[in-house]
A and B are shown apart, each in its own frame.
Chain A
Amino acid sequence: MTYRTQQKITRICWIIGLCALAIPFVFPFIWMLSGALKGQADVFSSASLIPSKIHWSNFSEIFAYQPFARQYFNSLYIAVLVTGLTLFLASMAGYALARLRFSGSALVLLLLISALMMPEEVTIIPNFFLMKKLGFMNTHMPLILLPLFGSQGVMATFLMRQFFLALPKELEEAGRMDGLSRFGVYFKVALPLSRPALSAVGIITFLFSWNLFLEPLVFVNDIELFTLPLALANFTDTYGLPLWHLQLAATALAVIPMLIVYILAQRQIVESFALSGVKG
């Protein structure tokens, strides 16, 4: 056996191994689709991946079962709002912590960093009473405020600060010379330069809000106000057992658009997450 064929065989073995490992990662998505297109009766009875008869009606039934379009919109608008607000407030604070010298800034930074890893479970109980007092129960306010000012907003601030620290100062100094205020320098000079960081932080923040589960579960009761994750968990019959065909169809509707975006912008999304991990 020549060296070359030996190498070829090793390579093929590697690929077969990776394919085998990929099964539990890919297979769930395929079964989700398959189950989503099956009727209530044959979700379990038929072992075949391809439905005997395609039940497109599952998709219309979802909307009859609960206000799914409304819930979809809730998730979308909340995620967009959280992302926009986080980008603005976190980049502004991150800029100040990186560039402006003021007494107490080190303390502010330390305070924020200490919260980076704190899970929301730690503060969820007092926040429940706080939201109640503020009259925000059963509204979307907690779902906007808690990610914005909790560990996610802190992480965004921290990542923006790291980015601004690495940015050359010259352009901003030129902006100062031209008579821009500090806010003007931040807004008109530094912010346009930080598009890569903004998109990375934006992607992570959007997904964080989009996938949020504990907060909606605790703060929202009305089905009209549900977000997607809550709605997906809610496809049960009167005995509390899951209506698999509807649940899987709804899950497919929630997951597939995200997967398409992911495949199209794969590089950018993966890099955003790599950035967030390197922060430590």
Chain B
Amino acid sequence: MSAAIKGPSLTLKAREAISGWLFVSPILTGFMIFFVGPLIAVFYYSTTEWNLLSQQSHFVGIENYVDALTRNDTFWDVLVNSLVFAAGLVPLNMLLALGLALALSRSVRGAVFFRTVFFAPVITSAVAWAIIWTFLLQHESGAVNRALSVIGINGPNWLHEPHWAMASVIFTRVLKTVGLNMILYIAALQSIPRDYTEAARLEGANGWEIFRRITWPLLAPTTLVIMVITVVGSLKVFDHIYLMTGGGPQNATLVLAFYIYEQGFKFFNTGYASALAVILFVLILALTILQTILKAARK
């Protein structure tokens, strides 16, 4: 269709294209300036070293990456910590979310109440949640250890012993975020037609068989989405670490996102911190691509 309505030169198609670009241009311009630009810049910064005294930067090539991968032991600790954090958080979070969703997906009495309870931390700010848990996990007089002492357990100094600190951060982070995954699972469960499970039941299948052969396969796309969201979420955890442990004790909870902040804004190692940010970018990009491939393979 090329009939011009108004004006001699602009076709309808051209006018639509102009409108289209005008509509997207505000968000697109901002996105270019505050996201794409900085994303390109972080690659550049990662090849430079900033001198605090002379206030100048010079090109060092891949030196920052070599530094991270070969010379700096902290980097490997950080990577292991991030891995441990994800390996602890993701399965725990997803299993709990699935269990809660299975228990609460039907509209039985009380289900709405429990859903409200388990979702409440999701809308609470992470800072508030971390502050309250830091309070509860204090060594001698924290509520958790007091409760444990009632049943005769002498609780550890949660946030100041390396292994317990990691466990505490994982556990409180799961509590904070599990409600979201529960809701996503509930939405998916509710979209499974009742007839499927009813038919299986009539054939004599028990609850576990129905779950394994019908529910679980039908949930697979949701599980994939939830897994990617949760892994990415675990890689960018910052506020919990900042408030509960500060990366300590002895770097036991120093994870990648916090390490970037620390190097960039506490020690002003701009180049090195940028190299770390690039590594985080690559990790997340790899996860995104993996998700796309898995999704395509399913079809």
Contacts and interface: CB of A to CB of B under 8 A. Distances in A.
A278 B116 contact: no
Contacts of A263: 116
Contacts of A157: 27
Interface in B86-128: 100, 103-104, 110, 112, 114-128
A15 B15 CA distance: 61
A280 B230 CA distance: 13
Interface of A: 14-15, 18, 21-22, 24-29, 31-32, 35, 44-45, 47, 89-90, 92-93, 95-97, 100-105, 108, 111-112, 114-115, 117-130, 145-146, 148-151, 153-154, 157, 182-183, 186, 207, 210-211, 213-214, 217-218, 228-229, 232-233, 242, 244, 247-248, 251, 254-255, 258-259, 262-263, 266, 269-270, 273-274, 277-278, 280
Residue of A126, A214, A228 ringed by the most chain B CB atoms within 10 A: A126
Contact of A182 (B19, B175, B232): B19
Residue of B27, B229, B278, B284 ringed by the most chain A CB atoms within 10 A: B27
A125 B135 contact: no
B117 A22 contact: yes
B34 A211 contact: no
Contacts, number: 272
Given A26-B117, A28-B136, A45-B141, 20 more contacts: A25-B121, A25-B175, A96-B24, A115-B35, A119-B284, A120-B236, A121-B257, A122-B39, A122-B42, A125-B273, A125-B277, A130-B41, A150-B34, A154-B31, A186-B23, A248-B131, A266-B116, A270-B119, A273-B119, A277-B183
Nearest to A113: B288
B45 A25 contact: no
B252 interface: no
B131 A211 contact: no
A115 B126 CA distance: 23
B26 A100 contact: no
A251 B128 contact: yes
Contacts of A211: 125-127
Contacts of A258: 123-125
Contact of B16 (A92, A102, A117): A102
Interface in B39-67: 39, 41-42, 45
Given A255-B125, A259-B120, A31 B135 contact: yes
B121 A127 contact: no
Contact of A105 (B20, B112, B125, B133): B20
Interface string B1-43: 0000000000001011111110110111011011111110110
B187 interface: yes
B35 A150 contact: yes
Given A18-B103, A125-B270, A270 B115 contact: yes
Interface of A is mostly: helix
Contacts of B13: 101
A230 to B, nearest CB: 8
15 contacts: A25-B120, A102-B21, A117-B284, A121-B260, A124-B261, A125-B277, A130-B41, A148-B30, A182-B16, A213-B238, A214-B239, A232-B131, A233-B127, A255-B128, A259-B123
Given A22-B117, A149-B30, A277-B229, A101 B235 contact: no
Residue of B34, B112, B180, B288 ringed by the most chain A CB atoms within 10 A: B34
Contacts of B196: none
Nearest to A14: B103
A114 to B, nearest CB: 7
Nearest to B260: A121
Contacts of B238: 121, 213-214
A28 B132 contact: yes
A255 B117 contact: no
B16 to A, nearest CB: 5
B146 interface: yes
A217 B126 CA distance: 14
Contacts of B36: 111
Contact of B291 (A95, A119, A262, A280): A280
A85 to B, nearest CB: 9
A35 B135 contact: yes
Contacts of A145: 30, 34
Contacts of B141: 44-45, 47
